[in-house]
Amino acid sequence: MPTHNPYTFSPIGIVHSCYKEKFGIPRQPGVVTAATARLELIAPYNRLDTLDGLEDISHIWIQFVFHATLSEKWKAKIRPPKLGGKKKLGVFATRSTHRPNPIGLSAVKIGKIHHENNRVFIDLYGADLLDGTPVLDIKPYLPYSDNIKEATEGQVPTPNKIVLKPVRFSEQALRKGKDFQQQTKQNALLLIEQVIGQDPRPSYLSDQTDRVHGIQLWDLNIKWCAREDHFEVIEIEDRRAEHEGQII
């Protein structure tokens, strides 16, 4: 009978992300291309020599901990959102966060490597990672071996192209979004369009209209709702003054 030896892992870094809450995070990486984040390496791994050669690589695999679901128990059967929440699959046939070991894996585009005041950061693009996510390891994405053309997705349908529903902004929301963009250099309006346009609502609410939802991206609190043929951003509240001194 096999033994069950426990293993202990220490994070190598932590993610500073535009996603401040679980609601709104796309279900796969790369769906929201305007999403930006930074991976900060922590001691003793916050050394530039650990990243030597990474500047020539476009994408990495990030192995991380689903830290926001640690208190939740794992489930043997899962209802994948792509199946409308009506059909169950085994946990190991899904990418659910409710796993025996709460470990996730994402392929993410990387950008500039920063060295600031003895701190080392890697810019991330299109990541599906919650702010504060502990990272266990990073490895280069290798197209020749990681891109398997004959792979199949099973019962969970994979669209050939992500189709976003149109997103419209109220006058107040558009003004606030533009002000935030100008002052922070973050492409907030495109980020909001992509996050809301891919419809982050649970499947049982997908047919409802005019119900107000809230979502936080960076330091913006965003109120929005679904209309018949589009989503509408009703109001944006900028809360940067409450979060001064925090890294974003």
Q: What is the pLDDT of residues 39-94, one digit of tens each?
A: 999 999 999 999 999 999 999 999 999 998 877 888 888 787 666 667 888 888 88
Q: What is the pLDDT of residues 22-32, one digit of tens each?
A: 888 887 888 89
CATH of the domain at 192: 3.30.2310.20
CATH of the domain at 82: 2.40.30.70
Give the pTM: 0.84
Residues 140 and 106 in one domain: yes
Question: 54 with 113: CB under 8 angstroms?
Answer: yes
162 located within any domain: no
Residues 117 and 25 in one domain: yes
Closest CA to 235 of 217, 219, 218, 220: 220
Residues 140 and 195 in one domain: no
Using the predicted structure, report yes or no on whether residue 152 has a pLDDT greater than 90: no
Residues 17 and 92 in one domain: yes
How large is the C-alpha radius of gyration of the chain?
19
Residues 176 and 113 in one domain: no
Q: Which residues on neighbouring strands pair with residue 108, listed in sequence order?
A: 60
CA dist 219 to 8, 21, 99, 131, 178, Å? Answer: 34, 11, 30, 12, 14
Residues 26 and 55 in one domain: yes
Residues 17 and 86 in one domain: yes
Q: Output 80 or 149, whichever has higher pLDDT.
A: 149
Question: 248 with 35: CB under 8 angstroms?
Answer: no
Distance CA 26, CA 189 (A): 16
Mean pLDDT (the chain, rounded): 88
Q: Which residues on neighbouring strands pair with residue 236, listed in sequence order?
A: 222
Q: Before 134, cis peptide (omega within 30)?
A: no
Tokens at residue 21, please? 């809450």
CB atoms within 10 A of CB 199: 15
Q: Residue 86's domain spans which residues?
A: 13-146
Give the position of tokens 């280069």: 140
Q: Output 238 or 69, whichever has higher pLDDT.
A: 238
Residues 134 and 186 in one domain: no
Q: Identify the sign of the CA torsion 40, 46, 47, 53.
A: negative
Helix 188-197 vs helix 171-184: crossing angle, to nearest 10: 130
Distance CA 190, CA 206 (A): 22
- The three-class DSSP label of residue 177 is helix
Give 93: exposed, middle or buried? Use CB within 10 Å, 0-12, 13-18, 19+.
middle
Q: What is the signed CA dihedral for 60, 108, 61, 200, rounded to 10 degrees? A: 180
Using the predicted structure, report yes or no on whether residue 244 has a pLDDT greater than 70: no
Q: What is the pLDDT of residues 173-215, one digit of tens each?
A: 999 999 999 999 999 999 999 999 989 888 778 888 899 999 9
Query: What's the confidence (pLDDT) of residue 31?
Result: 85
Domain count, the chain: 2
User: Among 81, 115, 146, which residue terminates a domain?
Assistant: 146
User: Among 146, 176, 195, which residue terminates a domain?
Assistant: 146
Task: Give the 3-state secondary structure percentages of the chain, helix then strand then coil, rounded to 5.
Answer: 20, 30, 50
Residues 187 and 129 in one domain: no
